[in-house]
Amino acid sequence: MKKSFVLAGMISISMFLGACSSESNSGSKSLAEKCEKGVTESCLEGATWSMNAFYTINEGNTAYSVVKELKSGGVASPSTLTFEEDGSFTLINSKSLYLNSEGTCLGEEEAGTWSVSGGQLTMNFTMGCMLGSMGYSFTSTPTIIDLNGSTALNLGGSYIYKDAPIAGYSLYEVFTGVER
């Protein structure tokens, strides 16, 4: 009798632990899964994105080519954009000499708030290297794309960086998602 109670207890505990582990595995989605419906709050919340280059978009909106990699002194120096779940974001600007960005932001950090409504991303910079006490609002209709097998955020031709680094190109800021 005691053996059956012990056995039943052990089976119950193992079933409980198995259920808990399967729930935690199903709750952690990849960035591609979170963003399969496009740019939404759940896609961006807690996500970090990295921009290693400016891109041009070829006809058909599917192929992307690198215009200029963000390098400083031969070393890759990407910009990173992190969206926090509390509605704040941090943008750490590249140290690249190819970025002008009014000449003041290279390697600096900016912060602000973000929101998504109707597929539009609005970012309000509340402090930062090029703003001083001024505010800057950035609104775009971004898309989620596949960039060489990685989930990427295309800001849609609206620039966080104010000055395009190369004249004569329609440049796109495309941030590759960083899986956590």
Q: Pairing relation of β-strands 75-76 and 71-72?
A: antiparallel
How far is residue 165's CA from residue 114's CA, in Å, rounded to a whole number? 25
User: Given a cut of 70, is residue 77 above it in pLDDT?
Assistant: yes
Q: Which of 34, 101, 44 is nearest to 92 (CA)?
A: 101
User: Given a cut of 50, is residue 48 above it in pLDDT?
Assistant: yes
Predicted pLDDT of residue 130: 53
| Domain spans, the chain | 1-28, 35-178
pTM of structure: 0.73
Which fold is adopted by the domain 35-178?
Lipocalin (2.40.128)
Q: How confident is the model at residue 128 (pLDDT cuts 50, 70, 90)?
A: low
Predicted pLDDT of residue 12: 46
Predicted pLDDT of residue 70: 77
